[in-house]
Amino acid sequence: MEWKIIHVPGRESNPDQNATVSVVASNVEPRAANNLIRRLSVMVPLENLHHVKRIRRSTSYGKVELSVILCLSVDEEDPLKGIPNDVLELINEYQLHPFISRVPKIAASSREEWVQQCVHWPTSYHPPANLDEINVFNEEDSKAILGFMTLAIELTKSSHLDNQVFNAAIIVNPSAKVIVASACDQTDSWPAKSVCAEKTNSNDTLTVSNGFHISDYKQNGEKSYVNVACLNPWSWSQHKPHTCSSPVEHLTTHRWHPLKHAALVAIGLAAARDRILFLVPDQPKDQSVESGFSSITSSVKRQKTEVSKDQGDVDSETCIVSHVKCLPSVSEDTSRPYLCTGLDVYLTWEPCTMCAMALVHQRIRRVFYAFPNPDAGALGSIHRLHGEKSMNHHYTVFRVSVPEDIF
Amino acid sequence: MGSMKEDDFQFSMTFMGLALEQAKFALDNLEVPVGCVIVEDGKVIGFGSNRTNETRNATRHAEMESIDKLLEQWQASGLSQSEVAEKFSKCDLYVTCEPCIMCATALSILGIRAVYYGCANDKFGGCGSVLSLHQSEIKDVYRGFKCTGGIMSSESVTLFRNFYEQGNPNAPKPHRPVKTTQ
Ligand SMILES: [Zn+2]
Ligand SMILES: [Zn+2]
């Protein structure tokens, strides 16, 4: 198998994609069509079939033919059965000859599906807004993406201990092609952090030499994925009690943490870097300017009687209105990024819901992962968090398929 | 969401009041006003409030703050993983706003007993609003927790309104060009 970058859509391609529903239709005279459709759409609107066009234009024996959907069908054998009375009146009035036809039950989720649907009956198709982001990798982009994915997998490999592997996360600035932060899972008490942190410290080596867990998972030389935090978020409590035979361990606190999945650790590192690189706090002047404008927006907000309540995601949408025109550009702002806006993340495994949501909060632009997470994955396997409409930030998700023998 | 008995209700009002105090503390520090307390055997053993602006880390929600402090404390006193899990299974969380999807997953991972929250979180809520992680079942194993919302929610909402009035110092400034996206 070769390397491939596959877009993971925010909406599942529906298993019902080829499903159809039967409708009662009829050919109509072209000059009657407009009037008829207007009356039908009031009389019997096609609920749940908004993607289906009411009229079909086809050519039969060189002659243009117009067909109109009258209503949903009740009985496939008998087009007239169960038809509402006012529709029956229309049939008489226009001298129609109803027949049964089938139309696609759900809207197409891709252009290909749409083309296929339209063979039977025309439908409308609304491509996702971020289509530009998808499948437009030139050779240089692809090379960079595969390069960073390889790095993430290398990080996973280098975190090996006793055949245990861990998830890895690398946050990348794609335009500068530099790594902003990288981390492995730190859920467990010993190995991962030493390898992934900038330097290996001797304490960890000590712990390792205690023989903890040695050979526990060495079965047939196979790698064990039990410790990949996102794959198995609930397993932390079953890990062996920490035997503190080494005195050094008493001195260090926080040696394990059930929530320190690679993505969360990487976000923490990126935030720390942000704090160091952009030390200057917001100037008081700037703040006063801003609060002045925000009070305007908050009144707008109140009128809408809707308050965004996410903790890190104070809704900026309404603030935009006031800032765009009024706020003088403050030089400091031009260099300091807002959280991880514009940055990509590379993960060896598809993230769990905790990590996937954390990446939304931190405003990551694109997520790349190599292996799916069948029991707990939030970006394609169990959920598709990036397709949740309610959220105010959406990243694009790609799976990078890699040769299976990469480990 | 289960219904509450009368004295349970009094109980939760008291703890939610303390969580609201944490939220006010956040507000005073120009942070998004969300606060929480963790309760074991009728006693508050942990608390926290949102610190996303100060840390520039949008994952530093009140829940995460309080959890981290407890974990540190318990490990310092020598508790093992299974002992800590045992502890969490006897703890309840009172938080002024419905936990987001991230925090709700975290609470499920830790195996907390119950969550009581104030207002709903329409955009990111993980306890019914967007996803229902409090009812999780993975591979036929229950991973959820008892969850009750709407406790003193108007107080929580008022704090959010105050926050908007004072302005979020860290909100993105849309006029600023973001170099990395171009
Ligand atoms: Zn995770
Ligand atoms: Zn949260």
Domain of A177, CATH number, reads: 3.40.140.10
Question: What pLDDT was estimated at residue A404?
Answer: 74
- Specify the higher pLDDT residue, A123 or A293: A123
CA dihedral A293, A294, A297, A303 (to 10 degrees): -140
Question: What pLDDT was estimated at residue A227?
Answer: 84
Question: What pLDDT was estimated at residue A125?
Answer: 83
Q: Do B123 and A313 touch (CB under 8 A)?
A: yes
A294 inside domain: no
When divided into structural domains, chain A yields a total of: 2
Domain harbouring B74, CATH code: 3.40.140.10
Show which of A127, A154, A177 is a domain's final residue.
A127
Q: What is the ipTM of this complex?
A: 0.90
B178 inside domain: no
Question: What pLDDT was estimated at residue B174?
Answer: 45
A201 inside domain: no
Q: The tokens 């009356």 sit on which residue?
A: A39
Same domain, A114 and A139: no
Query: Could you tell me the CA-to-CA distances from A326 to A289, A313, B174 in Å, in that order?
Result: 10, 22, 11
Same domain, A185 and A273: yes
- Residue of B54, B56, B131, B181 to mutate, interface with A, max A Cβ within 10 Å: B56
Average pLDDT for runs of 10 along chain B of length 182? 66 95 96 97 97 96 98 93 96 98 98 97 96 91 94 96 78 44 30
Same domain, A61 and A181: no
Same domain, A173 and A55: no
> Which residues 6+ apart lie within 8 Å of B84 measured at CB?
A237, A258, B71, B74, B75
pLDDT in tens, A149-201: 999 999 998 876 666 789 999 999 999 999 999 999 999 865 433 333 333 33
Q: The tokens 């929610």 sit on which residue?
A: B153
Same domain, A50 and A95: yes
Same domain, A123 and A134: no
- The ligand whose atoms approach the alpha carbon of A312 most closely is 2
When divided into structural domains, chain B yields a total of: 1
Show which of A127, A148, A176 is a domain's final residue.
A127
Which chain B residues have a beta carbon less than 8 Å from that of A259? Answer: 64, 67, 106, 109-110
Same domain, A347 and A360: yes
A200 inside domain: no
pLDDT in tens, A222-262: 667 888 999 999 999 887 644 444 444 444 444 789 999 99
- Residue of B79, B102, B122, B168 to mutate, interface with A, max A Cβ within 10 Å: B102
- Whether residue A336 has pLDDT greater than 90: no
**pLDDT > 70: what percent of chain A?**
70
What's the CA gap between A294 and A322, in Å, rounded? 8
Q: In what order do the strands lie in the sheet with A366-371?
A: A4-8, A396-401, A366-371, A344-349, A168-173, A178-184
Question: What pLDDT was estimated at residue A371?
Answer: 96
A134 inside domain: yes
Same domain, A81 and A167: no
Same domain, A165 and A274: yes
Q: Do A312 and B58 touch (CB under 8 A)?
A: yes
DSSP string for A326-337: HSPPPHHHHHS-
- Whether residue A304 has pLDDT greater than 60: no
Domain range enclosing B71: 6-166
B66 inside domain: yes
Backbone angles phi, psi at A157, to 5 degrees: -65, -40
Confidence of residue A130 (pLDDT cuts 50, 70, 90): low
- Whether residue A327 has pLDDT greater than 60: no
Cβ-count burial B147-169 (b if 16+ within 10 Å, e if not)? bbbebbbebbbebbeebbebbbb
What's the CA gap between A38 and A32, in Å, rounded? 10
For residues A242 and A190, the answer to whether their CB atoms sit within 8 Å is no
B171 inside domain: no
Q: Do A338 and B178 touch (CB under 8 A)?
A: yes
Nearest to A390 among B71, B123, B161 (CB): B123
- Whether residue A289 has pLDDT greater than 60: no
pLDDT in tens, A372-391: 999 999 999 999 999 998 99
Domain range enclosing A65: 20-127
Question: What pLDDT was estimated at residue A207?
Answer: 29
A371 inside domain: yes
Q: Do A307 and B82 touch (CB under 8 A)?
A: no
Backbone angles phi, psi at A285, to 5 degrees: -60, -45
Residue A342 Cα, gap to closest chain B Cα (Å): 5
- Whether residue A320 has pLDDT greater than 80: no
- Whether residue A7 has pLDDT greater than 80: yes
Nearest to A234 among B129, B143, B173 (CB): B143
Count the alpha carbons within 13 Å of B40 in the hemisphere toward its beta carbon: 12
Residue A82 Cα, gap to closest chain B Cα (Å): 39
Where in A73-177 does DSSP place strands (E)?
99-104, 168-173
Beta-carbon count within 10 A of A188 CB:
27
- Whether residue A314 has pLDDT greater than 70: no
- Whether residue A212 has pLDDT greater than 50: no
What's the CA gap between A214 and A233, in Å, rounded? 22
